[in-house]
Structure 1
Amino acid sequence: MSLRERKKQRTHEAISNAAIALFTDRGFDRVSITEIAEAAEVSRRTLFAYFHTKEDLVIHRFSDHETEAGDVVRTRPEGQSPLAALRAHFLDGLRRRDPITGLNDVPEVLALYRMIFDTPSLTARILQFNEGAERALARALTGTKGFPPRIARLAAAQIVAVQWTLARDNHEMIAEGMSAEDAYPAAVAAAELGFSLLENGLPAGSGKAPQS
């Protein structure tokens, strides 16, 4: 990178780190933009040049993952189905304790997830993030054999929903006191089940209402 680009990256990181530190210490809603700008030693105008909303100061930590599923589909090995590629990628993420899978017990990651789930505006913003992930995955699926546009959109919505549900369940296991190592077998089993349902469909069931 050029000197200018490196400087911009350092400023971006300084603002982000200052914001996360303040949010973790005092809570998202109790910290003002002015306080974040002062802690990062930048002006409010500079802060908004890097982050358009207060919520973006948190959700940007996931930004690299917004197009990840679509990238996995586009770069999968020849002969491998999109779903098989996504399954293998998610399982690899569990092995690496990738924070996006929820299977990570690093205190900073736990605090970030907790803040998102405890703050309505951040929860709403992560849903927008998931919608972006759906669109990126749908674009990658469209044109793949067996995925005309409508099926691609429906498949992308289901896949992103399953992955996010798995991540949230993994986080909840760890938030309740399990280590990532102890939670790993259950996380793998849940992922296998989730991708099996995506591949084979939901069980038909009996069609009868459950007995009370």
Structure 2
Amino acid sequence: MAKRGDRGGSKTRAHIAEVATGLFVERGFDDVTVAEVAAAAGVSKVTVFSHFERKEDLALDRLPDAVGIARATIRDRPDGVGVVEAFRRMTLALAEERHPLSGLSEAGEPLARTVAGSRALVSRLREFEHEIEAEVADELESDTRFSGDSELAAALIVAAYRTVAVATTRRRLAGDDLTEVAAAHCERLNTAFGALAKAL
């Protein structure tokens, strides 16, 4: 059961996502219903949908965090640090701490397999690429320190990270050594954002 005193807030959301992820990993995304998630989490379907717009978001509950991190990367970067460099530093920091959004967390492989095995989840990730691209472009447009093409910069930044992340996930699912995968991940981030910095 969700803890009392949360008032339907972040703890309840995290609890529902944790329960849902466990069920998805165990049985597969397509074979678990929202009603089953609600029952296992000790909440109603209404409560589930008050926190998650769709079933796919139960498995990909970290996506809103990615938007917040991307916006903060632009907004909070030090003076004199370009946008591309700020993203390079941020993505390397996520990799170093093995953050779930880096694709390098120790516990992330089972969920990655679940996502890769579901067309609905893969489709949701592709849709999210456009969403976060728009968020980054919007933040750049309102940033007085950025004078370039906001839409183009956002598209290239998202594409660069997606390319690296997909390759990293494929290697993890192939069973490659995590230490080697992490090293290659960071090397490719440096290469990708280094090239972008010159281009932009």
TM-score (norm 2): 0.87
Q: Give unmatched runs, 5+ long, in structure 2.
A: none
- Determine the C-alpha separation between the residues in 2 that align with 1:144 and 1:17: 39
Once the two structures are superposed, what CA deviation does each residue of 1:167-192 show, in whole Å capped at 9, x if it has no partner? 12112222222232222322222112
In structure 2, the partner of 1:165 is: 163
Once the two structures are superposed, what CA deviation does each residue of 1:30-56 show, in whole Å capped at 9, x if it has no partner? 111221111112222222222221111
- 1:141-152 equivalences under 5 Å are 141-142=140-141, 143-147=144-148, 151-152=149-150
Please state if 1:13 is matched with 2:11: no
Structure 1 residue corresponding to 2:152, chosen from 154, 157, 163: 154
Deviation of 1:95 (Å): 1.5
Q: Call closer, same or farther: CA 1:4–1:85 in 2, change over 3 Å.
A: same
Q: Call closer, same or farther: CA 1:85–1:9 in 2, change over 3 Å.
A: closer
In structure 2, the partner of 1:78 is: 79
In structure 1, the partner of 2:114 is: 115
Structure 2 residue corresponding to 1:185, chosen from 168, 183, 186: 183
Q: Give unmatched runs, 5+ long, in structure 1.
A: 202-212
Confirm or deny: 8 A CA contact 2:95 2:102 kept in the other structure: yes
- Determine the C-alpha separation between the residues in 1 that align with 2:160 and 2:17: 29
Amino acid at match of 2:88: R
Confirm or deny: 8 A CA contact 1:18 1:39 kept in the other structure: yes
Confirm or deny: 8 A CA contact 1:101 1:170 kept in the other structure: no
Q: Call closer, same or farther: CA 1:145–1:15 in 2, change over 3 Å.
A: closer
Q: Call closer, same or farther: CA 1:74–1:40 in 2, change over 3 Å.
A: same
Deviates more, 1:41-50 or 1:5-14: 5-14
In structure 1, the partner of 2:129 is: 130
Secondary structure, aligned partner of 1:66: helix
Structure with larger Rg: 1
Q: Call closer, same or farther: CA 1:19–1:165 in 2, change over 3 Å.
A: same
- Determine the C-alpha separation between the residues in 2 that align with 1:8 and 1:69: 23
Identity of aligned residues (%): 30
TM-score (norm 1): 0.83
- Determine the C-alpha separation between the residues in 1 that align with 2:127 and 2:156: 15
